[in-house]
Amino acid sequence: METKRYHRETLAAAAAALRAGQLVAFPTETVYGLGADATNEAAAKSVYATKGRPSDNPLIVTVANREMVARFATITPQAAKLMDQFWPGPLTIILNIHPGSLSKTVTGGLSTAAFRMPENALTRELIAQAGVPIVGPSANLSGKPSPTTAEHVLHDFDGKIAGVLDDGPTQVGVESTVIDMTVTPAAILRPGAIGPQELAPIIGFVDSEMHHVGASETPKAPGMKYKHYAPAAQVVVVDKPEQFAQTLKWAAASGQAYGVLATDAILQTVPRAIPQYSLGVDVKSATHALFAGLRWFDLHPTVTLVLAQAFPAAGLGAAYMNRLLKSAGNEHFNPADAK
């Protein structure tokens, strides 16, 4: 299969491919998604097969407008307030769906579904022209770092999907916040750029403690159950900047080929011969660069160990650390190991 690179002038062709049941990757302000007609069960199933995604990991339904949501789900007054304030934007809202309105392939067999209206105007136009909502998991092989450019998508799926709508690099760099509006109080199931500090003034108290999903449970949102975002190398989280000198000695003594994923201030202390990727200067730039950095190390297959900088898990740092810890399988540098 030839994977086409669509642009604004070929948007109609991309919409036609979606209507025909094919897969088209699309840009959002967070990461690129892998799109398929959410009302076409065969198309939705092909998303799981193409990504290698577990079948109990539900898909987000991506829409062009609020009317599309109302066709499938009950929009509560509280949910409507969030849509008024944050849509289009990086907020995914879980709602109770009308019985039988979406297939179990999309919902993971649940009576709820997650809905999102992305900020990217080109993608909203794509969905509008297709005339159907599209499922929109991140456009990467399951478990790998999410894509923030069309090139990342093609790295994983060239020859495997119909095309990718190229609108340049994404802006936020990590996936949307997921909030469950079917429980009281509302609960954040996946942190993102919009946190409880922005949500609480609109709808009151929001439960932001991360919920764990058991092996036999079906998660309500993506990213709650399985290891995600991991490059081929083992990622090790370095919790404090002052630990890097000790961590570098430990990594060198291990005999492994290692690399460093950190801010510029840290990288100034790293020998130039060591593969390194800059996270910029602060948590905002680090969040934007995280997935691109993890993917960069996959282009250096000799690297088997990546030392990655942590940030305080507050505000945007909560989203950053959620993704980083998943990429590392919760592996932290232990100073005791270096003695």
**20-29, 168-177, 219-228: lowest mean pLDDT where?**
219-228
Q: How many CA atoms lie within 13 A of 125 on its CB side?
A: 13
Neighbours of 184 (CB within 10 A): 11
Burial state string for 267-294 with b = 16 or more CB within 10 A and e = fewer than 16: beebeeebbbbbbeeebbebbbbbbbbb
Structure tokens given for 330: 């919760």
Structure tokens given for 336: 């005791």
Instruction: Give residue-wise pLDDT tens across range 282-328.
Output: 999 999 999 999 999 998 999 999 999 999 999 999 999 999 999 99
Q: Which domains does the chain have, with CATH numbers?
A: 4-203 (3.90.870.10), 234-338 (3.40.50.11030)
Residues facing residue 273 across a β-bridge: none
pLDDT at 216 over 90: no
Q: Which pLDDT belongs to residue 193?
A: 94
Instruction: Give residue-wise pLDDT tens across range 152-183.
Output: 999 999 999 999 999 999 999 999 999 999 99
Decide which of 220 and 117 is more confident.
Answer: 117
Could you give the CA distance from residue 309 to residue 239 in angstroms, rounded to a whole number?
7
CA distances to 25, 169, 217, 226, 260 from 49, rounded to whole Å, are: 15, 26, 21, 16, 33
Decide which of 230 and 277 is more confident.
Answer: 277
CB 141, CB 112: distance < 8 Å = no
Instruction: Give residue-wise pLDDT tens across range 88-131.
Output: 999 999 999 999 999 999 998 999 999 999 999 999 999 999 99
Could you give the CA distance from residue 258 to residue 247 in angstroms, rounded to a whole number?
11
pLDDT at 215 over 60: no
Neighbours of 72 (CB within 10 A): 21
